[in-house]
A and B are shown apart, each in its own frame.
Chain A
Amino acid sequence: MIRLEKRTAPSRFWTYAAPLLAVVLTMVCGALVFAALGNDPFVTIRTIFWDPLFSEFSWYYRPQLLIKAAPLVLIAIGLSFGFRAGVWNIGAEGQYILGAICGAAVGLAFYPTESPFIFPLMVMAGALGGWAWAMIPGVLRVRFGTNEILVSLMLVYVAQNLLASMALGALRNPDASGFPGSRNLARYPSATSWINEGAGLHWGVVFALIAVIFAYITLSRHIFGFHVRLSGQSPRAARFAGVNPGLLVLICMGISGTLAGLAGLFEVAGPSGLISIDFNAGYGFTAIIVAFLGRLHPVGILLAAGLMALTYIGGEIAQSNLRLPAAAIQVLQGMLLFFLLAVDVLTHYRIRLTARGVA
């Protein structure tokens, strides 16, 4: 009979091996799904996980990886603080939209003036927009004990409707009649977030790396990081250590909202270029997978975002070359999270085979 025995401390080996095992299991199961859809499983897996990096067209795909990974890293780093402390901000997608709307609004207000101050102002507005949107569930939880999971999620749908009304109304490009969307910020030199478009480099990539370093230092070296970890593991002990739980909720929500807002701003001023109805592409939700896949650790998140970006780009290649449906990639990403959660049992428990005895 198989029995689980709790380890006294998490296994070091499995902490690192479990995500790898999850990736391998996902590839195997993904191959089965692709085969069931009538695609050659080996070719499909190679197209998704290998071709973006090492095929003859990789010079084109590698910058794309950077573009996809940057918002995922930014959002996931922010989420990891809250997730460690037991603050569940699930509405990063909404904060991402608000960051984009606020940042773009500032940029569009200055059009067509050229000035080096415009972009920094947009960055501030984007961060503020995301922060403010995240403060709603934060304050409601602290003040009224409202569930932040549900409120932050409801606000995603509100944000999507707000986005639609902005794209069709206030921020609509006045020069393009009938086209539902704003002016293209990427074509507006003072407002664009591109540093080098050909290399896939924009300010979001830079900020993502800064966020990783900032998070690493905060979590491992600063007292705030200790309080975050303590609150997640033992709220009671944290109370005795002098942690103010309400303030911690607000700070965690604030960090994740700000970073999600920044991600939205950099996206709208660069890769996406404009505010449109379907501007948001689900980064806020994929970042949840990234945060868990990276074990809520900054370096892990960096690697996980790279892998997730690979499935996005590889998925796009498979879509155009092999006619793989777009939803198949979403299923693959979901499976990855399932397997990760499943193999995690090995980190915290030992599997023992015992003779069946009296229970």
Chain B
Amino acid sequence: MMDLSAINPILLLASLMVAATPILLAAIGELVVERAGVLNLGVEGMMITGAVCGFIVTINAGSPLLGFAGAALGGALLALVFGVLTQVLLSNQVATGLALTLFGLGFAALLGQGYIGIKAPVIPKWPVPVLSDIPVIGPILFNHDPVVYLGIAIIASVWAFLGYSRAGLILRAVGENHDAAHALGYHVIRVRLLAIMFGGACAGLGGAYLSLVRVPQWTEGLTAGAGWIALAIVVFASWRPWRLLLGAYLFGGVTVLQLNLQAAGMAIPVAYLSMAPYLATILVLVMMRAGRAPGSLAQSFHASR
């Protein structure tokens, strides 16, 4: 029998923030990559590589902090493969991104072989002093593990970087019109490689959040399409950082609600409820009239002289 009263709205909203964090991290990285004019469809591959790297480092070094650093490094290195292929060897970005996902899934499964069934250490919460004591808002917003805050901090800094810094302006110029940026003397390839590596690091962090906090253990295929949903949220957000946050929370909300309905014993079979996040993503993609994409998105740059 279904018991909706078992669903606590405060806990629901708090877990919404947690559920949104991995996608939020991966999406903000991809947003920067796409603003630099590169479409990297390998988010899923980088996420799962980050997930396994983070898990292995955490188990062996015993420190989740080092684990997250390892995850970012792993994601960035895999992204560098994509960067070299698309920027230096001028391969097709769509095909290379897909290759990155296919390779990443296999590579992560290979690395994670000895780690199946091990439990990750619990990451303590960092309640913000004073603020977390506010009723209702406190437990929802200010009683989380540090990575949740980090995700929001990254969004804020990307927003500031893109809108208010010279380097951000150069990055946007490279993404809007790489030929003009090149003519002005900016290093298109260097900027793009750095953006791609940042995207990989963020996807890696997102993946590690799944394997270390959300699940929290290593299983093959554990990202289950989160990387693709991150890509969808970038389109939803029209390449703007704060709208990304909204998209991630919307998605997190659907995920959490779906899980809660499963737990509450809703009459709909589990398999249909599990479809909800993916269907919601499609719905959002259809309803949103996407803003204008960066001008040079997914085009290879080759200085012809």
**A residues less than 8 Å from B304 (CB atoms):** 6
Q: Within the complex, what minimum Cβ distance (angstroms) separates A88 from chain B?
A: 6
A162:B275 contact, CB within 8 angstroms: yes
- Whether B269 lies near A165 (C-beta < 8 A) is yes
Contact pick for A338, options B103, B231, B285, B290, CB 8 Å: B103
The answer on a CB contact under 8 Å between A328 and B92 is no
- With an 8 A cutoff between CB atoms, is A285 at the interface? yes
Beyond the given pairs A4-B90, A150-B285, 17 more chain A to chain B contacts, judged by CB atoms under 8 angstroms and listed by A's residue number, are A6-B304, A147-B285, A150-B231, A150-B281, A155-B278, A158-B278, A161-B274, A162-B271, A168-B271, A326-B109, A327-B113, A330-B105, A331-B103, A331-B106, A337-B95, A337-B99, A341-B95
Contact A338–B278 (Cβ < 8 Å):
no
A164→B92 CA distance, assembly (Å): 35
Chain A, residue nearest B111 (CB): A327
The answer to whether B6 has its CB under 8 Å from any CB of chain A is no
Chain B residues near A161: list those with CB within 8 A: 271-272, 274-275
> Given A4-B90, A154-B281, A161-B274, A334 and B225 touching (CB < 8 A)?
no
Stretch at the interface among A63-71, A126-134, A342-350: A342-350
Chain B proximity mask over A83-124: 1 for CB below 8 Å, otherwise 0: 000001010000000000000000000000000000000000
Interface of B is mostly: helix
Interface centre among B98, B269, B281, by most A CB within 10 Å?
A: B98
Which residues of chain A are near B102, meaning CB under 8 Å? 285, 288-289, 330, 333-334, 337
Q: Is A224's beta carbon under 8 Å from chain B?
A: no
Judged by a CB distance under 8 angstroms, whether A169 is at the interface is yes
In this complex, how many residues of chain B approach chain A with their Cβ under 8 Å: the count is 44
Per-residue contact bits, chain B 93-121, to A (CB 8 Å; 1 contact, 0 not): 01110110011111101100100000000
In the bound complex, CA of A289 to CA of B91 (Å): 14
* Contact among A154, A156, A344 for B91, CB-based, below 8 A: A344
A151 touches B282 (CB 8 A): yes
Type the 1/0 row for B268-303, where 1 means its CB is closer than 8 Å to any CB of A.
010110110011011001100110000000000010
When the two chains form their complex, are residues B225 and A341 in contact, meaning their CB atoms are under 8 A apart?
no
A303 CB within 8 Å of chain B: no
**Pair B41/A149 contact, Cβ less than 8 Å:** yes
Q: Which residues of B contact A234 (CB under 8 A)?
A: none
